[in-house]
Structure 1
Amino acid sequence: MEARLNLFENPVAARFVRQLTAANKVLAESTLPAATQELVKLRASQINGCGFCVDMHAKDALHAGETATRLSLVAAWREATVFTDAERAALELAEQGTRIADAAGGVTDEAWQNAAKHYDEEQLGALVSVIALINAFNRGNVMIRQPAGGYQPGQFA
């Protein structure tokens, strides 16, 4: 399968992707734990059906030392015992922020307050930004049918 559009050769899309990638580097420098960022990216990508991003973030997380057990349980995080309370709060925020159209008010006050118990203002800003950023990547990749399976860690570093 081939993508409908090559994001790296299209003049507008390539500039846009470079900007999104630069935003991702800003987030990597934040105090929000890298493991939490990858879990959130993986969960949003699963919800959005973005195979390319599921592949990328699972491989990046493994490469960074995450366990296969935790990664395989991200989709069932509510029932899994391998996530901290802070990670659970981030995953809940990611789910609600990704499914924003499913709820009349978007993210619930309860989900926000739970996240605020575990993360400071800077980290909350990073968490919101990670969720928004991965959703943008997911939507673009799903629209162009970016194929999954061939990503290698560090490919876009």
Structure 2
Amino acid sequence: MSTTFNPQQRINIKALEPECWKLIIEIEHYLANTSLDPQLRELIKIRTSQINKCAFCIDLHTKDALKLGETERRIFALSAWQESPLFSEKERAVLKLTEEITKITEAGVTDDTYDKISTLFSKNEIAQIIIAINHMNFLNRVAVSTKLIHLS
């Protein structure tokens, strides 16, 4: 997540707390080096950002997904993935987990959701998916609370 400081932004955490920001970015570097499909990671980022209404992150990760070969059609359908035939069984399981973690206060992560994801991914992959979802939630909350906006 990089941007120049905007006068409408409340504070720039990256500039004020660079040592902490390095650690936050290390998580992103770690996730980029896992076996998780990069397009799946971008779907997690976009869907989490849609739920959290983080315009900066939606813009950034939509562009990143397109660069990785994701289609506009699937990105357009992402907010209605439950009704769309465009997503695989694995993607649906991850998107369901993404929604339940992002909206954790509603019902937590249901046993049905966890049971489904555990049939499709290894325990390490599940751990990586949970880290990716929570990391994106953290980044969304930083961006929204500081009013980080995209300039172009």
Q: Do the aligned residues in 2 keep the contact of 1:31 with 1:122 (CA within 8 Å)?
A: no
Question: Cα–Cα, structure 1 residues 149 and 85, in superposed 2: closer, same or farther, change >3 Å?
Answer: farther
Equivalent of residue 50 in structure 2, options 46, 51, 59: 46
Question: Following superposition of structure 1 onto structure 2, how do residues 96-107 of structure 1 map, counting pairs within 5 Å?
Answer: 96-103=100-107, 106-107=108-109
Question: Following superposition of structure 1 onto structure 2, how do residues 4-43 of structure 1 map, counting pairs within 5 Å?
Answer: 4-10=10-16, 12=17, 14-43=18-47
Q: For residue 7 of structure 1, report the CA deviation from its aligned partner.
A: 2.4
Aligned to 2:9: 3
TM-score normalised by length of structure 1: 0.89
Q: For residue 40 of structure 1, report the CA deviation from its aligned partner.
A: 0.8
Consecutive aligned runs of 4 or more in structure 1 exceeding 2 Å deviation? 14-17
> Runs of 5+ in structure 2 lacking a partner?
1-6
Q: Which amino acid aligns with 2:46?
A: L
Q: For residue 53 of structure 1, report the CA deviation from its aligned partner.
A: 0.7
In the alignment, the residues of structure 2 paired with residue 15 and residue 85 of structure 1 have an alpha-carbon distance, to the nearest angstrom, of: 39
TM-score normalised by length of structure 2: 0.92
Identity %: 33
Q: For residue 2 of structure 1, report the CA deviation from its aligned partner.
A: 2.1
Q: If each structure's helix is expressed as a fraction of its own residues, which one has the higher value? A: 2
Q: For residue 42 of structure 1, report the CA deviation from its aligned partner.
A: 0.6
Q: For residue 148 of structure 1, report the CA deviation from its aligned partner.
A: 2.8
State how many pairs are aligned: 146
Q: Which amino acid aligns with 1:50?
A: C
Q: Which amino acid aligns with 1:8?
A: K
> Runs of 5+ in structure 1 lacking a partner?
151-157
Equivalent of residue 125 in structure 1, options 98, 102, 127: 127
